[in-house]
Structure 1
């Protein structure tokens, strides 16, 4: 069984820890977190071994960045890359319940939790996070570092940009797009393209001018 280091002692890390233990995918060696007060603490039976800078010490272990915010996840991956970690060092964590047909692709560093569904020819980039019961329909194309909260549904042929966040139980109409680093609020119904960097909420979804990242998951 391959060894695994989880980056960040977060709620997402706890969910990944439970998933990989129950499935036997990896042997979790421990967690790394920059909060020095966490050093030596045990999280659901897994020790916090040090800070993120210690990742280079664990040369035989795979790594997963367990941070809910795509922007922060991206920044940590850039930091690890500067330390010499290559893309091949990142695990892919997929719950056994996930529907994963032939012809679908999932990039390195991605996390797919329970009951995620991919119907046909779905492409997920690197370091994508999909919480429970997310549905990706045929020909969806998701860029690196995108994040999907629980219950999100994408219609067919949807494009989701780098670092985008789609909130809990939101729906995105077929053949529309969510731009890079855009945010879709929980329960929103996206009927038109969301431009890069904008925040859209409501039914039908519309832009909130000057919105911040209130809707982004950070756990």
Structure 2
């Protein structure tokens, strides 16, 4: 596959690759990044470059990942990944470009959208709906029937109680407990709503 993103999340994606997978090239708009581990970084994607292998957008920031997806969605097929140590229900689904990392749990009838990150040891219980460009950070727990809107970050080690609806482009702080619905563009820290963006 090709990888777009030559920083920390790019390293994580490379590390997730199996022995049969091959990195065909790494791109990044930052021309100062020339090497990612043992791989050269090729710089920005040339205007007329043809993606002859799937592309993985390896960017942790949700808005930046969306921006790159919109730039290349007409030119590329997007790779998806589920690590061998994850438990991903045969009755769950995920969209193009989504990655499910080590020791994650995705239960029955959950649906993950496009370009979602389910980070290390996160748990998504039954019947959850995770919209495009969301990021479920390491160790986060979503109880059954949770809805997460587009571009939302569920912070590391946080817990979302059953049936809660979280809007689009929300930030849930690390270690929070979400006990009620959260409107679009809000920030939830600890046990309560703190601000709107």
With the shorter chain as reference, the TM-score category is over 0.9
Aligned CA distance change for structure 1 residues 152 and 56 (closer, same or farther; 3 Å): farther
Q: How far has the Cα of 1:42 moved from its partner?
A: 2.4
Report the secondary structure of 1:151's partner residue. coil
1:26 to 21, 29, 39: 21
Report the secondary structure of 1:199's partner residue. strand
The two structures, once aligned, show a CA RMSD in angstroms of: 1.4
Superimposed CA distance per residue, residues 1-49 of structure 1 (whole angstroms, 9 cap, x where no aligned partner): xxx11111121110110110xx2352112210111122xx221112101
Q: Could you list the runs of 5+ residues in structure 1 that have no partner in the other structure?
A: 212-219
Instruction: Look up the match of 1:214.
Output: none
Aligned CA distance change for structure 1 residues 25 and 176 (closer, same or farther; 3 Å): farther
Q: Is the contact between residue 32 and residue 55 of structure 1 (CA under 8 Å) also seen in structure 2?
A: no
**Structure 1 length normalisation: TM-score?**
0.86
Instruction: Look up the match of 2:2.
Output: 5
Instruction: Look up the match of 1:70.
Output: 62
Q: Is the contact between residue 164 and residue 183 of structure 1 (CA under 8 Å) also seen in structure 2?
A: yes
Deviating above 4 A after TM superposition, structure 1's stretches of 4 or more consecutive aligned residues are none
Q: How far has the Cα of 1:98 moved from its partner?
A: 1.0
Q: How far has the Cα of 1:55 moved from its partner?
A: 7.6
Using the alignment, how far apart are the partners of 1:68 and 1:42 within structure 2? 18
Question: By percentage of residues, which structure has more helix?
Answer: 1
Aligned residue-pair number: 197
Report the secondary structure of 1:200's partner residue. strand
Report the secondary structure of 2:88's partner residue. coil
Instruction: Look up the match of 1:171.
Output: 159
Instruction: Look up the match of 1:158.
Output: 146
1:85 to 75, 79, 92: 75
Using the alignment, how far apart are the partners of 2:187 and 2:80 within structure 1? 29
Structure showing greater relative contact order (alpha-carbon pairs closer than 8 Å, 6 or more residues apart): 1
Aligned CA distance change for structure 1 residues 58 and 50 (closer, same or farther; 3 Å): farther
Q: How far has the Cα of 1:54 moved from its partner?
A: 2.6
Report the secondary structure of 2:46's partner residue. helix
